[in-house]
Chain A
Amino acid sequence: MKNELLTVAEAAARIEAGAIMSIAGDAPLLAQLPKGNWIGGTSVYFVTDAGGAVVRDKVFCTTFEGVASAAPAYYGADSLKAISNGYKRGGFTVLLIPAFSGAHTTFALEAPMYNDLFAQPLVGWISGIHLDDLGKAKPMVFDGATGTGHEDGAVALHVALPEGASVSTDIVNIFSQGNDAKTTFTFPEGGFSAKNVSVNGETVNLAQYLTDNNIDTRLPLVANYAGALVNVSVQAVDTDAGEVAFYAPVVPGVEYQMASPVADYAGTFAANLTDAGDGQYSCNCILNYLYGELEGKSTGTFTGPVTFGEIAYILLNQTLVKLDIKAA
């Protein structure tokens, strides 16, 4: 697997040579690419070999080498539940979804219940835009098979591997539960926003609680899924409306804790990653990029797009997702 920043001409030549690729870049660049065996999503933020950077004149290309075949596919929000129908036995799927779209919401809420979701690794990310363009531009995804860009729905690259090859995925979450282990948050209802929450069994207004207790909302709420720490990041706190918005849905009944603070995001990522990132697919979260001030800082050898949400079977926040292929 190769991870590289390429010019549009270089990426186009790679596509025309038949390469199987996942591509991230600014929308006008992705729109110039020829049809082929690729999917793309908009992002202008990247973790590069030299550190975090905003790049608008090149596209970040992951070229999957040594795989057997691949099939790009577009799914509308309503058909995402059938994504496992496209799975290639023993292979993997990369899924890209535009931020703020109907598909983003649908996937976040419904993916945990999708049929055969876990039958093979499913990784990917939520496409974004430059933060200066919020309200002016929309995140997009591109289906290389047709060369079409979409502001809603999702594109998937279903990849088959040769006999004997294997693939694995995992997450790196630099946050842990336990900033205040005695304080737990449990939501009566799920969704991308919440008014009330049970804090240690007492129902309170979450927006007011966060404000009154001067809680640093750059830190996510963290749930422990049998050893997998899953974050939900706070998007906005509206004390007038008494409502808190999240970047991923909270799940009713799940016990969350506020994350412990992280002093050095770049160093903590580097310490939690091996030096094997060169040959792996990965993405990291825009909130880590912003809050950790990753621009110009290296997080090790894992390079890739900086995204508005990460996918490792389900929607994640403030998490690095990685995928590794072992040759036969």
Chain B
Amino acid sequence: MSAISTTQCEQVLLSSSDLSKASLATRILIGRLRNEVKGAPDSLGEKAAELAKFASENDYAANDLANL
């Protein structure tokens, strides 16, 4: 599984796409992070890094993000 880049994570967080095929954990986390970015757009880099770290530590999450 190739690493998910921070840029890819930023795109996911700036999108409002429905990720119904992703695992419940991935959906809940991305939902929270999207809301936080909406409330504080300057935090995008930090939140994308958090998502990238989550994907690097959990194979299922990396798989979810790779298949978006």
Contacting pair B23 A227 (CB below 8 A)? no
Is B34 an interface position by the 8 A CB rule? yes
Complex contact A228–B58 (CB within 8 A):
no
Closest CB in chain A relative to B39 CB, distance in Å: 4
> Among B27, B29, B30, B39, which residue has its beta carbon within 8 angstroms of that of A253?
B39
Residues on the A chain within 8 Å of B26, using CB: 118, 226
Asked if B18 lies at the interface with its beta carbon under 8 angstroms from chain A, I say yes
Do the beta carbons of B35 and A227 come within 8 Å of each other?
Answer: no
A112 close to B32 (CB less than 8 A): yes
**Residues from chain A with Cβ under 8 Å of B22 in the complex:** 226-227
Instruction: Return the chain A residue nearest B23 by Cβ.
Output: A168
A170 touches B34 (CB 8 A): no
What is the number of contacts between chain A and chain B, taking CB atoms within 8 Å? 60
Question: What 0/1 pattern do residues 283 to 327 of A give for CB contact below 8 A with B?
Answer: 000000000000000000000000000001110000000000000
Q: Mark B1-41, 1 if CB is under 8 A from A, else 0.
A: 00000000000000001111111111111111011101100
Closest to B17 in A: A226
Given known contacts A118-B61, A168-B23, is B28 in contact with A225 (CB within 8 Å)?
A: yes
Once the chains bind, are A253 and B28 in contact (CB under 8 Å)? no
B57 on the interface (CB 8 Å rule)? yes
CB of A223 within 8 A of CB of B31, answer yes
Chain B residue nearest in CB terms to A314: B28
**Number of residues in B with C-beta < 8 Å to the partner?**
25
Report if A68 contacts B (CB, 8 A).
no
Q: In the complex, A238→B18 CA distance in Å?
A: 35
Q: How far is the CB of B67 from chain A (nearest CB, A)?
A: 13
Q: Which of B34, B39, B57 is A226 in contact with, Cβ under 8 Å?
A: B34
0 or 1 for each of A247-283: is its CB under 8 Å from B? (1 = yes): 0000111100000000000000000000000000000
Residues from chain B with Cβ under 8 Å of A170 in the complex: 24
> Please, what's the 1-or-0 string for B46-61, where 1 marks a CB less than 8 Å from any CB in chain A?
0000000010011001
The answer to whether A227 touches B57 (Cβ under 8 A) is no
Contacts of B58 in A (CB 8 A): 118-119
Query: Contact between A225 and B30 (Cβ–Cβ < 8 Å)?
Result: yes
Given contacts A226-B18, A227-B19, A253-B39, contact A313 B28 (CB under 8 A): yes
Check A224 for interface membership: any CB of B closer than 8 A.
yes
Residues of chain B contacted by A224 (CB below 8 angstroms): 18, 31
Contacts of A226 in B (CB 8 A): 17-19, 22, 26-28, 30-31, 34
**B17 CB contacts on chain A under 8 angstroms:** 226
Cα distance A254–B36 in the bound complex, in angstroms: 9
Kindly state the separation between the CA atoms of A224 and B30 in the bound complex, as whole angstroms.
11
Residues of A within 8 A of B (CB): 112, 116, 118-119, 121, 168-171, 223-228, 230, 251-254, 312-314
Residues of B bordering A, CB below 8 Å? 17-32, 34-36, 38-39, 54, 57-58, 61
9 residue pairs, one from A and one from B, having the closest CB atoms: A225-B31, A228-B27, A118-B25, A227-B20, A226-B30, A227-B18, A253-B39, A226-B27, A226-B31
Could you write out 17 A-B pairs with CB less than 8 Å apart? A118-B26, A118-B29, A169-B24, A171-B24, A225-B27, A225-B30, A225-B31, A226-B22, A226-B30, A227-B20, A227-B21, A227-B22, A227-B27, A230-B31, A253-B38, A312-B24, A314-B28
